[in-house]
Structure 1
Amino acid sequence: MTARVALVGANGHGRAHRRRIAELEAGGVLRLVALADVQPIDEVPPGVATFADHRALLAATRPDIVVICTPPHTHLAIALDALDAGCDLLLEKPPVPTRAAHAILEAAAAEAGRSCQVGFQALGSLAARHLFDAVGAGLLGTVGAVATVASWRRDDAYYARAPWSGRRSVDGRPVLDGALVNPLAHAVMQSLAVAAAAGAGHPVLLEAERYRTRDIEVDDTAFARITFGGGLRLMAAVTLAGEDFIPGEVMVTGSAGRAVLEYPTDRLVMPGAAAPAGRIDLLENLIAHRRDPGRHPLVAPLARTADFTTVVQALAGAGVPAPHLVDEAFVTSVGAPPGRVRVIGGINAVLREAAETMRLPAESGVAWAVPAFTESLLQTTG
């Protein structure tokens, strides 16, 4: 039977989901039955119902699968309603803000007997899976360090895209819009997946420096050093105020070799056989999993993202210091609003140095850096 799919959050990034849903529908994989958004929805396909409220959608159309592409702080309530209606979920990243919410969602899915796939599409990369398998098989020897670097730019319009953009909280709920936990979350998730493949255990300590170059409540530049129970360390160094574009690299250093995965493009450089090309589509995988769970395990099940949620909670918690405003002497504005971007001079070299040395910028004497905050993750994971 063809899966009946609904999309909650049809505008904004939801348009990318609509395009992919249309492709799969053309191939006979699914049927789109409904769209929901709090704003008017344009270009609605014939025969597809539209709603302003997800609960009305669930009651009227009873879909098999709900794709949730709404602001992160709304995910949990919508997901619980969809599970209660008997639906499987494709939930955009970041899934939820805390481990408590993560546990609630896992328990609800188990009780309902439904599946929850999280929108970390880079986990479907065949090159990434090749890397995870190689690390797990010991082909790089003992892995002692994992690092990820990305240098992007986001303009004024990006921070005006929605009422929650650049905000720390909305109506008392945490908003996950910092560089590490939203736009560059894939860099963090890929690195955590490598650590898991290396048998590193759970993360136990976070040391982080967070910065901003504009009037926002969250970071646009961040450095996080994560230590795992087995001793492995991970450095994430990312910015949205970058110089030359670095799409996103995950670097794995082992006693017998080194690997570099450019995760947005699935380019993998490592010893041994070349990695296969292509990706497993998350929605198509979820539909196949519904038919035959044993043959088609989920690519990005909610349980696989637990360590990511641990890091998110530590970075975005109420007690975490606000990101430090970088002094104007080190920042340049490029272009005019709404396309204006802010660029930190020399930031790409700072990112690279952090990744290669595992030192945070303040430890390397970077002029604009301030000391890190430290957060134990033991209670969070345990």
Structure 2
Amino acid sequence: MTTQHSAAADQPLQQAASPAVPRVALVGVHGFGERHLANLSRLEQAGALELVAVADPNPPQAGTLAAPVAVFPDLDGLLAARPGVDVVIIATPIQTHAPLAVTALEAGMDVYVEKPPVASLAQFEEVLAAARKNGRLVQVGFQSLGSHALPAITEMVAAGDVGTVLGISATGQWLRTKAYFKRSRWAGKRTLDGTDVVDGVATNALAHAVATALHVAGARTLADVASVETDLYRAHGTESDDTSVLRIRTANGATVLCALTLCAPEQLDPTVTVHGTLGDITLSYTKDEVVITAADGERRETYGRTDLLENLLDARATGAPLLSALQDTGAFTAVLEAIRTSPAPAPIDPGSISWEGAGDDAHPVVHGISDLIGRAVKAQATFAELGAPWARAIPPVRTMTVDGRPVADCQDGSHIRAVSSPRPYLHPVRTLGGTVVTDHQPLDHVWHLGAGVALQDVDGVNFWGGRTYTREAGAYVWRPDHGTISATAVQQTDAAGGHGGTLQETLSWNGPDGAPILLEERSWAWSGVAPSTWRLSLDFALSPAGSTPVSLGSPGSNGRFEGGYGGFFWRLPACDAVTVWTPDGSGEAETHGSVTRWLAWSGTFDGGPATLVFVAPESCTDPWFVRVEGYPGVGQSLAWDAPVIAQPGEQVRRSVTVFVADGNLATADIEALINHQGDPS
């Protein structure tokens, strides 16, 4: 369904009742200033204002302006001529915005300044102080904030159209050529001649995406922002970032995740999305189009937009609120300041970039950037946290090594979003040859985290992540039921000669309120067993943290047919030529739900062929959980179709061993490997 809403800007303007129409000057007539000239012409023809002067060291071409419009080389010259200006529009390089705005305010004029309004927090406070001292108005040129879609989205969210808000995202996939960064001295600069510029994908090119997302999140002022995390990169030969993630926590507890690039394979409409438990609301702010996606389908609505200069003139005349007042861009300024004070953007490895076009028309494309942006938004994660091959490496909590080679990194899960049930896990896990055989935060299930232990129903608390399957609903539903697992004690011992080691962890499984529900004793052991094979063993024991029994369940125990995942789980990365088999059969249909001594997975991964052999103790009766078609994953089901009750003072204990081998193993190889190693239990 498409609905067209009227826009004030679409209606003919009426001749002003008073003959004293506002007198306007434009500083900066080239670049975006040309758009201001066109808008000023429209409004002047409607009798809403009078353009009396422009200022630019490079004057406009003859015939561009009407004869009465005075032309000056700069704002100082304009002010010295005393043309009686009421409003000054500033469309000049970023580093000049603040000093020009202060000059105009001190001269008693209202100001319209292009985005970003300033290049630092100190400048923001300086301009704001000048506006308050002189009792003047400052409108910032975030045109998207004039969209009538924004109050409509606020009403939809308040009405519960998409349920509880899980987060807000902004995405922008644009492409910019070498010529774009040659258009001016300041383009692509963080500083110029010792002066802050802070040009970049988030502060300039796609600044509207950031500002609009903050507005939707209810973050306007400096006080509305609790924290800003930056993850900045560049593919161009510039100083500034062109491919970045920003994670902003607001004072009201919302998370805003901005994933932006100027190095996309094709230019796409930038969007801001409200992610809810019942659906999403996505705004294409350049088109003022909203798409509402919910269980009952999708609908589209198109809205009008109020011109920000008209809004400023209205505010002068009637006292109406500004739609993009300087003080209400404080939240955006907090983001800009975080970028300004961050380390310089890291260059992206040239091996992860393809250049398209020639000469000044050439533009870089970062490999896989569209998928990475999708994952970042869904997981509320940075490129570094996702492990992008060109991103900064985040040091693991600890590393498992065999014969000096790192085979598994231990992550504490502290960066994982709350609704993915933060918990410790192993990723990446590698073969001795270096092939990665785990995945984490994949787009299909961003709560899948490498290799570890997780359960979806522990006395009603979700320690798996994502939606919860309930018997009442007969479906997966979002609930505020996510727990966290954190270590309270850790001891790692490396074997003599570096041939392996052990890791002992004491873990607390805490509910949404932070209270412990389960206590876990977890033990990892690893060692080399052959030139191309190493062994990883896991033993974990769960017991109630309190004096009452605790139910350990799964979607299967809550009524989902053959959905008994939970306990040990290993998420594999995408791979080709997959073969999964047990001693009794092969393929997902024959291995899923089977109870066998071992299960093998062989395939060609990004680093080459590898085989994983999952081995259960001989006494184990837990079925294997296997997924091949929908996604690659293997687990050992603790509660296949009925819950397991953990009694106070007792432990629910499980063990599994995984042989990680380079190359493709056959059944005879597997049997020989297991027999040689003995009973893993």
How does the TM-score come out when normalised to structure 1?
0.91
Aligned residues of 2:22 and 2:48 also touching (Cα < 8 A): yes
Kindly provide the amino acid, as one letter, of the partner of residue 265 in structure 1: K
How far the C-alpha of 1:199 sits from its partner, in A, is: 12
Partner of 1:376: none
Partner of 1:148: 170
How far the C-alpha of 1:365 sits from its partner, in A, is: 2.0
Q: 2:306 aligns with which of 276, 280, 289?
A: 280
Partner of 2:22: 3
Q: 1:311 aligns with which of 335, 338, 363?
A: 335
Structure of larger gyration radius = 2
Aligned residues of 2:229 and 2:247 also touching (Cα < 8 A): yes
Structure 1 segment 348-367 matched on structure 2, within 5 A: 348-367=370-389
Give the SS at the match of 1:280. Answer: coil
Aligned residues of 1:132 and 1:197 also touching (Cα < 8 A): no
Inter-partner Cα distance in structure 2 for 1:90 and 1:274: 32
Q: 2:42 aligns with which of 18, 23, 42?
A: 23
Partner of 1:335: 357
Give the SS at the match of 2:124. Answer: helix
Structure 1 segment 7-86 matched on structure 2, within 5 A: 7-42=26-61, 43-60=64-81, 61-86=83-108
Give the SS at the match of 1:311. Answer: helix
Note the alpha carbon deviations across 1:117-162, whole angstroms, 9 max, x for none. 0000000011123113433555444323111111001111110111
Kindly provide the amino acid, as one letter, of the partner of residue 121 in structure 2: R
Give the SS at the match of 1:165. Answer: coil
Partner of 2:285: 263
Note the alpha carbon deviations across 1:74-129, whole angstroms, 9 max, x for none. 11111111111111111101011222221221121122111100000000011123
Give the SS at the match of 2:228. Answer: strand
Give the SS at the match of 1:247. Answer: coil
Give the SS at the match of 1:162. Answer: coil
Structure 1 segment 32-181 matched on structure 2, within 5 A: 32-42=51-61, 43-60=64-81, 61-136=83-158, 139-181=161-203
Give the SS at the match of 1:55. Answer: helix
Partner of 1:377: none
Q: Cα distance 1:200–1:165, how it changes in 2: closer, same or farther (>3 A)?
A: closer
Partner of 2:251: 229
Give the SS at the match of 1:352. Answer: helix
Kindly provide the amino acid, as one letter, of the partner of residue 2 in structure 1: V
Give the SS at the match of 1:145. Answer: strand
Give the SS at the match of 2:170. Answer: strand
Give the SS at the match of 2:264. Answer: strand
* Aligned Cα root-mean-square deviation (Å): 2.2
Kindly provide the amino acid, as one letter, of the partner of residue 13 in structure 1: F
Give the SS at the match of 2:360. Answer: coil
Inter-partner Cα distance in structure 2 for 1:38 and 1:201: 38
Aligned residues of 1:135 and 1:198 also touching (Cα < 8 A): no
Aligned residues of 1:200 and 1:232 also touching (Cα < 8 A): no
Give the SS at the match of 1:246. Answer: coil
Inter-partner Cα distance in structure 2 for 1:40 and 1:179: 29
Q: Cα distance 1:231–1:114, how it changes in 2: closer, same or farther (>3 A)?
A: same
Inter-partner Cα distance in structure 1 for 2:363 and 2:283: 27
Inter-partner Cα distance in structure 1 for 2:221 and 2:57: 43
Kindly provide the amino acid, as one letter, of the partner of residue 14 in structure 1: G
Note the alpha carbon deviations across 1:250-273, whole angstroms, 9 max, x for none. 111234442111111111012699
Q: Cα distance 1:125–1:372, how it changes in 2: closer, same or farther (>3 A)?
A: farther
Q: Cα distance 1:198–1:94, how it changes in 2: closer, same or farther (>3 A)?
A: closer
Note the alpha carbon deviations across 1:30-74, whole angstroms, 9 max, x for none. 111011112232123211111111011123212110000111111
Kindly provide the amino acid, as one letter, of the partner of residue 236 in structure 2: R
Structure 1 segment 293-304 matched on structure 2, within 5 A: 293=319, 296-304=320-328
Give the SS at the match of 1:223. Answer: strand
How far the C-alpha of 1:324 sits from its partner, in A, is: 1.1
**Worse-superposed segment, 154-163 or 224-233:** 224-233
Higher share in strand: 2
Kindly provide the amino acid, as one letter, of the partner of residue 51 in structure 1: F
Partner of 1:322: 344
Give the SS at the match of 1:76. Answer: helix
Q: Cα distance 1:214–1:287, how it changes in 2: closer, same or farther (>3 A)?
A: same
How far the C-alpha of 1:279 sits from its partner, in A, is: 0.6
User: Any gaps of 5 or more consecutive residues in structure 2?
Assistant: 1-19, 396-681
How far the C-alpha of 1:180 sits from its partner, in A, is: 0.4
Give the SS at the match of 1:17. Answer: helix
Q: Cα distance 1:183–1:50, how it changes in 2: closer, same or farther (>3 A)?
A: same
Give the SS at the match of 1:182. Answer: helix
Partner of 2:261: 239
Q: 1:183 aligns with which of 201, 205, 225?
A: 205
Percent same amino acid at aligned positions? 38
User: Any gaps of 5 or more consecutive residues in structure 1?
Assistant: 374-382
Inter-partner Cα distance in structure 2 for 1:30 and 1:372: 55
Note the alpha carbon deviations across 1:223-275, whole angstroms, 9 max, x for none. 11112233321110010010132211111123444211111111101269965
How does the TM-score come out when normalised to structure 2?
0.52
- Moved beyond 6 Å, runs of 4+: 197-201, 271-274
Aligned residues of 1:222 and 1:237 also touching (Cα < 8 A): yes
Corresponding residue pairs, total: 369
Kindly provide the amino acid, as one letter, of the partner of residue 73 in structure 2: A
Partner of 1:292: 318
Kindly provide the amino acid, as one letter, of the partner of residue 81 in structure 1: T
Higher share in helix: 1
Give the SS at the match of 1:348. Answer: helix
Q: Cα distance 1:50–1:200, how it changes in 2: closer, same or farther (>3 A)?
A: closer
Aligned residues of 1:76 and 1:96 also touching (Cα < 8 A): yes
Inter-partner Cα distance in structure 1 for 2:339 and 2:222: 21
Give the SS at the match of 2:204. Answer: coil
Q: Cα distance 1:185–1:205, how it changes in 2: closer, same or farther (>3 A)?
A: same
Aligned residues of 2:221 and 2:327 also touching (Cα < 8 A): no
Q: Cα distance 1:200–1:32, how it changes in 2: closer, same or farther (>3 A)?
A: closer
Inter-partner Cα distance in structure 2 for 1:135 and 1:187: 19
How far the C-alpha of 1:200 sits from its partner, in A, is: 12
Aligned residues of 2:104 and 2:110 also touching (Cα < 8 A): yes
Aligned residues of 2:33 and 2:91 also touching (Cα < 8 A): yes
How far the C-alpha of 1:310 sits from its partner, in A, is: 0.7
